[in-house]
Structures are given as structure tokens and as C-alpha cells.
Amino acid sequence: MTNYFSKDFWWGASSSAFQVEGAWDEDGKGKTVADYNAFQKSDVQADTRVASDFYHNYKEDILLMKELGLKAYRFSISWARIIPDGDGEVNQKGIDFYNNVIDFLIENDIIPFVTLYHFDLPFALVEKYNGWESRDCAFAFERFARTCFEAFGDRVKHWQVHNEQNLMIRVNIRMNMYDVPSEQAEKVRAQMDYHMFLAHALATNACREMLPGVQIGPAVSSTMTYPSSNRPEDVWAARMNDNFKTNYALEMYCFGEYPGYYKEYLNKCDIYPETKPEDEEILKASKPDYIAVNYYRTLVASYLPADEAHPFGTKKNDIDFDLYGYFKIEKNPNLEVTDYGIQVDPTGLRLLLNDYYEKYRLPMIITENGLGTGDQLTEDGKIHDDYRIEYLENHIAACNDAISDGVELFGYCPWSVMDLLSSRQGFMKRYGLVYIDREDFDLKELRRIKKDSFYWYQDVIKNNGLN
């Protein structure tokens, strides 16, 4: 196989603050929506109180990243660690912590690749005005972003604004939609989504103002959908599933407005968000420098007509929702399925990268791609995860193929650098290249143990790709 990875390709790995840091209320940090949701399940799985305890072990963990050979580490900053109540006083101890992390990464020749918002809205903003439902939240986020640019922008040259807004908006608990009446839910969701786009644009424009020459962009939860048949209506349904779950967001990020199909849907359902005339200039000025892609699986869709019981725009389910008048999600009988129901499809990644590059002509980086499963520690203290190696190898090969097709891909950061807190499965579901020796209710010594996949990825980095 010809190797198409450039010599300066970013071989990295990823994590997020609430899933690795722990120290949820230490040194002045405020509670987040992620904390609140985790605490609701503390009786059945691990929560954010300790997580992987990166907060107290960041030096050891970064030295492991150096040993691995990482060129970049993609991580997030907790908004509530910097501004505990979301829009009040800045917490200097939070600034100090991330300064220490960034400095130690640079000392060890690892590029700090920073995400500003990864599912962890300060809970005080929920209590104050239901978070993203209020326009004020967008401007609170802009202030947080400016605080980070001022504190870290002399060293951080690559920024992500929101992680997976297009997925986050589909999960009620991540959007703090705890008490919203069902008949109002879609209107509230559309308003929250719009305010997040406005916040993204405000932060992007602030970055350009304060840090000329740096790179900034969004990370999307990618969607690649096959039609269930070659019937034209099923082909259309597959396209619309991609449009409604990812492409509408990329259109907003890249062109500053909703595409026509999405405007029609919002208007027909009478849920078009409130906007202000000055927003247009803000949104259109904020075209990203790159697109970050989080990829795990593909989907299949068939046409789902509306009927009397399910009028146009009626949704069923949440993350992989069906939408009457558009599409219904089906199973793909041609793909293998993981223990957690994810259909594995490396070819889908190649197709998706080509699709995005043809549409947006922006450089791309993979910021999440990985296999979550229940790793077992052997009696001799090792983790033999050949299944993860196979998964990563096949997806890296798909990246290589996409580059050969002409796609401008500048990095690959698997999820995740270490085992971390899964929102739904605690520490039963593991993604890391490094094993964290703890269980949901037994912290043990939180030892870091290199998995077989760690050594395999180390060789990939040394060889700048697959052999």
C-alpha cells in the first residue's frame, strides 16, 4: 500500500475535560451540566468526581503521550473551571491548571489542540436562564472564549469551538431540557441550536480579532447514510438524514445561514428560532479554517411518509431519530456490529471525507474515531486489544485512501488517548490506548497501563502510517 501521509501529518489522540479530569469541584471549579447528569447516575456507574484523575496526574499522562510519540493532543477546557458560574468572575486557579498542561505539552513537543466546549455547560447558566435557550448564553460563551484566547493564545495556535453541536442538540440531558413540555421541545431545541451557532460565530470572530493567523473551526459528529434500496425516495431519504443530522450545521458554519431544506422544515413546523438583524453579519464572517470530523459508523435510511397519526416533522427517538416526511433509520445487514451496537464501516469514512471535501473545500482532521468495548486486564497485567488495533488500522487505511483521492486531511486523533468516563457506560466501556486501572465503584490505584494498541499506534507514528 502506498503511503500518502505527509511528513508533517498530525498523529494525535483526544479526550475531553469532564471525561478525564476529575476534581469536579476542586480549586474553585463550578458544577457543569455534565456533572449534574453524571451525579444522577452515581448509584449505577462512575461519575465525574474522579473520572481518570488527569487533574492530578497530567504530567504522568503527558509523558505517556510523549512516549507514544503524539504530535498533537486534542483536549477540552472546562468552561466552569475558568468561569465557575459561566459569566461571573474568572477563576485564576483554573487558568493556572490549563497553563501548566499547555506548557508541559509544549515542553514535550506535543501540539496543544484545544476545544472550548465539549458537553459541559456551567450549571449556573441553566439555573439562571436555561442555558442556550437564552441569547445571553451566546455572549457569556464569547466572554469565556476571549478569556481563553487571552490566557493561552500565545501558545495555542489551533482551536475548536464546539464539539459535536449537531449531536449534542439531539440529546435532551446534554441540552439541560429537563422540564421542557413535549409540545414545546422542538421549538426550544431549535432556539438553543441557533444560539449555539451564534456563540460559535462570536468566538470564531473574536479569535480572528485577538489571534491573527491561528486556526479555528468546529468538530462535527459526522453522518454518512446509505439508502435502503435504489428507489429514488430512499436515496432522497438517505441524503436528507445526512442533511438534518450534520450537513445543515456545516452549512451554517461555512456559509453563515441555514440551507433551504432546513429553513423549509423549521417554517413548516413553526419552530423557526428568533434571530436579530445584526446576526447575519456575525454568522457570515465566521467561516472556519478547517473541519474536524468525529467518525464512528454509518447509517441506512428509507423514506418515511407523514400520515394522520404522525404529521410532517414528527420525530421518533433521539440520537438516530426518524423524521416523518423524510426518513426512517434501518439496520445494515452487511456490516459487523460492536458489543455496543455500533456498525463498523471504514469505507464509510473514505466516502464521507470525500463528500465533505467536495462540498466545503476545507482542510480536515479526524478528532474522534475509536472502538469502545470492555477491555480485560490479564493476570500478567496486560491488555491484549487486537480488536481495537484492527479497527484503527482499517480506519487509518481509509484515511490514506481518502488522501489518495485528493482529500486534504492533516491529522488523525483517535478517541481516546486513555480510558475515560463514558456518559452512558461509566468505565465498563473503554476506548483508550492507555488502560486506567479502576472500576466504576473501585478506584484502586488508578494505574496507567499501556495496552497492545499503545505499542501498535507508537509504530504507526514512527512509520508515519501503516507498513
Does 164 participate in catalysis according to the annotation?
yes
Q: Provide the pLDDT for residue 180.
A: 83
Residue 342 pLDDT > 90: no
- Confidence (pLDDT) at 466: 86
From the list 133, 142, 164, 251, the catalytic residue is: 164
What percent of the chain is modeled with pLDDT above 70? 100
pLDDT given at position 286: 97
Residue 345 in contact with residue 335, Cβ under 8 Å?
yes
Q: How confident is the model at residue 467, as a pLDDT?
A: 72
**Whole-angstrom Cα distance, residue 69 to residue 425?**
29
C-alpha cell at position 445 = 490505584
pTM for the predicted model, two decimal places: 0.96
* Average pLDDT, integer, range 321-329: 97
| pLDDT higher than 90, residue 278 | yes
Q: What is the mean pLDDT of residues 15-30?
A: 97
What domains can you pick out in the chain, each with its CATH number?
A: 10-300+333-462 (3.20.20.80)
In the residue annotation, 150 being an active-site residue is answered as no
Given the residues 368, 393, 408, 445, the one annotated as active site: 368
pLDDT at 340: 74
pLDDT reported for residue 265: 97
Q: Is the pLDDT of residue 354 over 80?
A: yes
User: Cα separation of 414 and 393, whole Å?
Assistant: 11
Rounded CA gap, 35 and 21, in Å?
12
E strand map for 70-197 = 72-76, 111-117, 158-163
Q: How high does pLDDT run on average in the chain? A: 96
pLDDT digits 0-9 by tens, 220-242: 999 999 999 999 999 999 999 99
Long-range contacts at 239-246 (CB < 8 A, ≥ 24 apart): 240/301, 240/323, 240/326, 240/327, 241/299, 241/301, 241/323, 241/326, 241/327, 241/329, 244/323, 244/326, 244/327, 245/166, 245/167, 245/170, 245/221, 246/166, 246/220, 246/221, 246/222
Q: Read off the pLDDT of residues 241-250 as tens digits, 9 standing for 90 and up.
A: 999 999 999 9
What is the pLDDT at residue 424?
A: 82
409-451 tens-digit pLDDT: 999 999 999 999 998 889 999 999 999 999 999 999 999 999 9
pLDDT at position 183: 82
**Does 1 score more than 80 pLDDT?**
no
